[in-house]
């Protein structure tokens, strides 16, 4: 049984279709990233899973319990931790008092180690907290009862890079002990570092669910070529070149620099280039942001034709001849 099962989940706010027939599973013991730009529908899915919104259509189960059944939802909630996008605590309470209240409701098996890790200023009143400190307190509250599943809405917002890294290491270690993590994000570098699988949502509709490695594989390579001479544009007319840019004033040694993302066969590319004198060539993993852009900047996608869609997403934007 999956930790989270969504079946045709649909939520309308009047005219706005915030979730449109969303179906996917989050397996036990995985870190699942739910990605999408602002307004895509991530918080709506999360709040529906928590029973805070009722679905217009469709169903969902959390830890095997139906979210539309009050008794079952309560049972699931005992075993889950939830970090909302804006964690709210009693403003007049100190951090310590806020956590004590939380502990009396859910338990605090792990508060000591979590306080050491995230270190919110416990003796100050919450109303004096910065956004980052509220987030730290929220993380302690989310994990302190040692849940089986955590649902986190943009968990690293407000955290400095050091704390983000600490959070990542903590979450990975918890996953290795069997915790299931479902978190939303619009930060792709965060997802790349943390997730096992990724679901991408756009305008309320699920675009894709796939392992993060396959997303990275499809993202191809970021190629930078420094050529001693100008390379004719025909040389770049092969499958898999995206966003080709040329800079004829590159470097102190002259020559021309070319940069592009490449999703084709590297051997084909090297074969094309061997007749030109290159000063330098580098291939790196493409930024995940670029893949994301291809999902969102491509032509309107048909939600019913997954394989077709993926071909178009990957093939979209070939060329860039005019730029050369």
18 binds ligand ATP (CB under 6 A): yes
- Stretch binding ligand ATP (CB under 6 A), from 37-45, 132-140, 160-168, 222-230: 37-45
44 binds ligand ATP (CB under 6 A): yes
Going along 14-55, which residue ranges are E strands? 16-26, 31-35
Q: Distance between CA atoms of 99 and 81, rounded to whole angstroms?
A: 14
- Give the Cβ contact number of residue 127 at 10 Å: 10
Out of 31, 43, 241, 260, which residue is the one contacting ligand ATP (CB under 6 A)?
43
131 binds ligand ATP (CB under 6 A): no
Nearer to ligand ATP, 34 or 262 (CB): 34
Secondary structure (3-state) at 231: coil
Nearer to ligand ATP, 41 or 95 (CB): 41
Q: Distance between CA atoms of 100 and 13, rounded to whole angstroms?
A: 36
Site string for ligand ATP, 85-114 (x = CB under 6 A): x-----------------------------
CA dihedral 39, 149, 96, 153 (to 10 degrees): -10
52 binds ligand ATP (CB under 6 A): no
**Are 62 and 80 a contacting pair, CB within 8 Å?**
yes
Out of 40, 179, 195, 215, which residue is the one contacting ligand ATP (CB under 6 A)?
40
Residue with tokens 């306080």: 115
DSSP string of 73-94, one letter each residue: HHHHHHTEEEE-SS----TTSB
200 binds ligand ATP (CB under 6 A): no
Out of 33, 41, 158, 240, which residue is the one contacting ligand ATP (CB under 6 A)?
41
- List interacting residues with ligand ATP (CB under 6 A): 13, 16, 18, 36, 38-44, 85, 186
């Amino acid at each position: 049984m999956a930790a989270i099962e969504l079946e045709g989940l649909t939520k309308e706010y009047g005219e706005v279709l915030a979730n449109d027939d969303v179906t996917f599973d989050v397996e036990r013991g995985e870190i699942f990233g739910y990605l999408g730009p602002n307004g895509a529908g991530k918080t709506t899915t999360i709040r529906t899973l928590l029973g805070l919104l009722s679905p217009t259509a469709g169903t969902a189960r959390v830890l095997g319990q139906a979210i539309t059944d009050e008794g079952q939802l309560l049972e699931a909630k005992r075993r889950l931790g939830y970090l909302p996008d804006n964690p709210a605590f009693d403003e007049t309470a100190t951090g310590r008092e806020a956590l004590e209240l939380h502990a009396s409701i859910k338990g605090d098996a792990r508060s000591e180690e979590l306080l050491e890790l995230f270190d919110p200023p416990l003796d100050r009143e919450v109303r004096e907290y910065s956004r980052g400190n509220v987030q730290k307190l929220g993380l302690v509250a989310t994990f302190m009862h040692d849940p089986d599943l955590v649902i986190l809405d943009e968990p690293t917002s407000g955290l400095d890079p050091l704390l983000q890294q600490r959070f990542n290491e903590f979450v990975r270690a918890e996953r290795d002990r069997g915790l299931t993590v479902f978190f939303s994000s619009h930060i792709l570098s965060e997802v790349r570092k943390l997730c096992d699988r990724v679901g991408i949502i756009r305008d309320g509709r699920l675009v894709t669910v796939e392992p993060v490695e396959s997303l990275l594989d499809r993202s191809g390579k970021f190629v930078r070529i420094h050529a001693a001479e100008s390379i004719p544009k025909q040389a770049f007319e092969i499958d898999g070149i995206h966003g080709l840019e040329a800079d004829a004033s590159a470097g102190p040694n002259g020559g021309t620099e070319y940069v592009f993302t490449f999703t084709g066969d590297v051997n084909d590319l090297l074969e094309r280039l061997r007749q030109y004198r290159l000063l330098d060539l580098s291939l790196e993993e493409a930024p995940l942001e670029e893949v994301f852009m291809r999902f969102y900047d491509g032509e309107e996608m048909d939600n019913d034709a997954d394989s077709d869609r993926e071909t178009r997403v990957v093939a979209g934007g070939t060329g860039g001849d005019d730029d050369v």
